[in-house]
Structure 1
Amino acid sequence: MTILIKEGRVLDPETKRDEICDVLIDGDRITRVDSGIETEAERIIDAKGCYVMPGFIDLHVHLRDPGLEYKETLTTGGRAAVKGGVTTVCAMPNTKPVIDNGVKVKEVMERAKRESLTNVIQLGAVTVGQEGKELADIRGMAKNGCHAISEDGKSVMNASLYRKGMNLAKEEGLAVFAHCEDITMVEGGVMNADKKAEKLGLKGITNAVEDVIVARDILLAKETGVRLHLCHCSTKDSIKMLGLAKEEGLDVTGEVCPHHFILSTDDITKDDGNYKMNPPLRSKEDVEAIKEGLRNGTVDVIATDHAPHAEAEKNRSMKLAAFGIVGLETSAALTYTELVETGIITPMQMAEKMSWNPAKILGLHDRGSVSEGKIADVVIFDPEKEYTIDKNTFLSKGKNTPFHGRKVKGEVVCTIAGGRIVYEGGKIID
């Protein structure tokens, strides 16, 4: 199919193009980006007043498939993704069974080609069953295209075993995605350790629970030379240590999530399970440090940690609720509203942190850019559209969000994945 996108503001972080022009797509590739393209096309899309950006790449998504399909599936997660302009997701391996060998990686990715509208990269676990006792089939998973290993949902507490896994990942050209949490220090905590936790009568999780493992993992990455990506950084010291690692020239990157750069414990007014996530919402001081890290380039990536749960698992006290928040359908609008509109980052930096940088981290050389020869993953985003987030309209099975009822600005109006229009005008295009 040929698609001609007319007169949008093209934002391409790779070429630094930021201008009103046209984009021609033929089949699954972008074939021309220029002003005043005059040619016949099967579809012509008027993008006046809109940004035309590379499709977003979310490095941190829980699709819950296989084994937890009542929370999410490859199909529902894929629909939620393209509604949010996300054309590639990294699926975390903490499913049932855990994705810990090459056969399982291959099975999910082959199913995803049939069942999901977004491109799915299945990540592999670091240890068998994520039990922290023996290394998973890292070579087999690399052979089948996992791109990175992660023990997400927990940390590998055995540093010696983790170092061995890092060395194998380095040999296989894989990144290590680190969920930084010293489980021995959590001690039953369910939210940030501060006066609000005391007021609500809830056990707290200190910043050190994250910071101790951030420091350890950076030091292990320095020793092994592996490419380390720090997931969902939430504390001021995590951002500080990420910056120090970069100053030293280490191959270390970091991501933050919209809930961590927008909300703090000040926003928790009652014991509500929809505000329970891991890591927890932190202090305003941590939020400001995250924003500064985004502004100055210390933070490379905006990801969601999309973690859908059934309603009964979230609509309860934080003492009993599951950890997690959905984000695929809200991340673009929240990022634009809270970061671009406020001048913390530019529209180009939004495209960089949501697409180009994730592509580089994964080694996806043909994605993350609106330029000739690249895979035609494109999002058309209207920066002027204002609306209120309504969880009841989510395509994800998960409705667990503290952002329900929040006014935002900026909406995905069209998503093109691999040269195919998969979302347009508020509707999924199967």
Structure 2
Amino acid sequence: MSFDLLLAGGEIVFPGVGVRTGSVAVKDGRIAALLAPGEQASARKVIDCRGKWVMPGLIDPHTHIGFGSNETDFETESRSAAIGGVTGMMTFHRSNDLRQSTGPWKERGESQSLIDFGFHFGVTSKLHIDTLPECAERFGVTSIKVYLMYKGASGAAKGFTEIDDGLLYRALLQGARIKGGVVGVHCENVEVIPVFREPLKEAGRNDLPVWDEQSPGFLEAENVFRVIYFGEKAQCPVNIVHMSSAESLEIVRRAKRPGRAPIHVETCSHYLSLTSQSPIGFLGKVNPPLRSRNDVEALWEGVRDRTISTIGSDHVPRKRETKGPDIWKASAGFPGLGTLLPILIHEGVHKRGLPIEQIAAATSANVAKLYSIPNKGHIAVGMDADLVVVDPDREVLVDPATQESHSDYSPYEGMRFKGAPVRTILRGRIIASDGAVDPDARATPAGRYLHRS
């Protein structure tokens, strides 16, 4: 049998299982065969992968497409993703009426994206709760998000007036009725933040550490307890998204037990690599805040013991000009799609000795399983040939000018990371090589919408 593509002689990474030398053969966009060392095969294109890892393409579970340029974010951010070895992304979609907005937003993605993409619905009103079954079935969306940091005055400032504990519980009840449903929650007790914020502002503080001090980790942990307790009562799987604190993780460990509704935990690459003391100034403002080195190490231990099951970027592609004029007025969030994999290899594998198959699980297989994404996340015959070839020794210097993002900065700019993609492949098609988008992929993007059920 002749194949379309052969990734020859690489170290094949099976998420959560191990690494095995061999070749991956691709035909008609699917993985057609896994060949042992010495087995021969012919293909129209052969890539020598000796000394390289062949991993499932990453699926970033946490992105905010449209927060930079509503018109072109799918185009620019999918290019940045491809450079970084990401072949799929889940992005949050919010609007007044999801029934009206989701179709056009999906069509824009289909016309622009180099990589596959799916949606989480942002739930901010009772209308969203009432129409969720219809929207879930119509658009194949099984995951929703509730924003506890937008309660009260904080939410009203952004136009959200219905977010409270009642909306959270309604969302959990509705999520429990959706097949494969999971409710993600941003956990921060915004009602207590002013107790800390007001004295700090009066003292004239204007630095990155103050963002952590005005919303300390225990305010996240308190909300985590509330969410998992409500989740148990509603019998709904919950996902604590972008977890940032050691205390939050410990609460999850104590709460997990057989027979109760599942508790999933996601963290992000910046909580595994940056702290409130990192010399990056206002660029490091994000919600929840960057925290201490102790929190970083605790979260890595959560990845190691699998309490944390998924890792994303929380990618927000705004411009540098929004990160000021002071810490209080600067926008929150920053870009991270293109740097997700190098950071995790450098910090996780090279610095802390985690096996690469565990990084692959947290960025591919576990994401596909949690969000019911078919044919993704594993290297096996019949799966979509979404693959990334990684040189574990290749060093990359983060330069925003080469990231292809709408954003013109990075909190990691000037930093070096060891371990980087050299080929990114979507359904058997090379979409990026050696840090650059493939010209054919740029001209004819072929990302597909991930309809889930």
TM-score, normalising length: structure 1: 0.90
Give distance in 2, aligned partners of 1:390 and 1:258.
Answer: 17
Give distance in 2, aligned partners of 1:264 and 1:345.
Answer: 20
Matched pairs, number: 417
Change in CA separation of 1:234 and 1:348 when aligned onto 2, cut-off 3 Å: same
**Alignment partner, residue 240 of structure 2:** 230
**Alignment partner, residue 124 of structure 1:** 121
1:321 partnered with 2:330: yes
Cα offset, 1:285, TM superposition: 2.1
Q: Quick one: which amino acid aligns to residue 259 of structure 1?
A: H
Q: Deviations over 1:27-46 (max 9, x none)?
A: 12111112144333221111
Query: What RMSD over aligned residues (CA atoms) do the two structures have, in Å?
Result: 2.6
Q: Deviations over 1:235-278 (max 9, x none)?
A: 11111122223335541111111211122222247xx2201111
Q: Quick one: which amino acid aligns to residue 129 of structure 2?
A: L
**Alignment partner, residue 180 of structure 1:** 187
Unaligned runs of 5+ in 2: 152-162, 442-453
**Alignment partner, residue 61 of structure 2:** 59
Moved more, 240-249 or 81-90: 240-249
Q: Judge conservation of contact 1:55–1:378 (CA < 8 Å) in 2.
A: yes
Aligned positions of 1:84-123 closer than 5 A: 84-94=84-94, 98=95, 100-123=97-120
Q: Judge conservation of contact 2:18–2:357 (CA < 8 Å) in 1.
A: no
Give distance in 1, aligned partners of 2:104 and 2:90.
Answer: 15
Q: Quick one: which amino acid aligns to residue 388 of structure 2?
A: V
Provide the secondary structure at the position in 2 that maps to 1:370: coil
Q: Judge conservation of contact 1:83–1:415 (CA < 8 Å) in 2.
A: yes
Unaligned runs of 5+ in 1: none
Provide the secondary structure at the position in 2 that maps to 1:151: strand
**Alignment partner, residue 403 of structure 1:** 412
**Alignment partner, residue 345 of structure 1:** 354
Cα offset, 1:100, TM superposition: 4.5
Cα offset, 1:300, TM superposition: 0.8
Moved more, 102-111 or 377-386: 102-111
**Alignment partner, residue 447 of structure 2:** none
1:135 partnered with 2:129: yes
Q: Deviations over 1:71-124 (max 9, x none)?
A: 961111111111111111111124xxx275244223322332221011110211
1:146 partnered with 2:141: yes
Q: Quick one: which amino acid aligns to residue 274 of structure 2?
A: L
Provide the secondary structure at the position in 2 that maps to 1:265: coil
1:261 partnered with 2:272: yes
Give distance in 1, aligned partners of 2:433 and 2:63.
Answer: 23
Q: Judge conservation of contact 1:155–1:180 (CA < 8 Å) in 2.
A: no
Give distance in 1, aligned partners of 2:69 and 2:327.
Answer: 23
Aligned positions of 1:296-307 closer than 5 A: 296-307=305-316
Give distance in 1, aligned partners of 2:98 and 2:316.
Answer: 23
Give distance in 2, aligned partners of 1:202 and 1:188.
Answer: 13
Matching residue within 36, 42, 45 for 2:44: 42
1:213 partnered with 2:254: no
Change in CA separation of 1:410 and 1:288 when aligned onto 2, cut-off 3 Å: same
Provide the secondary structure at the position in 1 that maps to 2:225: helix
- Identity value in percent: 26
Q: Judge conservation of contact 1:71–1:309 (CA < 8 Å) in 2.
A: no
**Alignment partner, residue 83 of structure 1:** 83
Change in CA separation of 1:225 and 1:408 when aligned onto 2, cut-off 3 Å: same
Provide the secondary structure at the position in 1 that maps to 2:408: coil
Q: Judge conservation of contact 2:84–2:341 (CA < 8 Å) in 1.
A: yes
**Alignment partner, residue 446 of structure 2:** none
Q: Judge conservation of contact 2:221–2:245 (CA < 8 Å) in 1.
A: yes
Give distance in 2, aligned partners of 1:250 and 1:354.
Answer: 23
Q: Judge conservation of contact 1:99–1:105 (CA < 8 Å) in 2.
A: no
Q: Quick one: which amino acid aligns to residue 11 of structure 1?
A: V
1:165 partnered with 2:171: yes
Q: Judge conservation of contact 1:103–1:141 (CA < 8 Å) in 2.
A: no
Give distance in 2, aligned partners of 1:242 and 1:39.
Answer: 48
Give distance in 2, aligned partners of 1:230 and 1:72.
Answer: 29
Q: Quick one: which amino acid aligns to residue 172 of structure 1?
A: I
**Alignment partner, residue 392 of structure 2:** 383
Aligned positions of 1:362-381 closer than 5 A: 362-381=371-390
TM-score, normalising length: structure 2: 0.85
Change in CA separation of 1:24 and 1:17 when aligned onto 2, cut-off 3 Å: farther
1:335 partnered with 2:337: no
Give distance in 1, aligned partners of 2:44 and 2:377.
Answer: 24
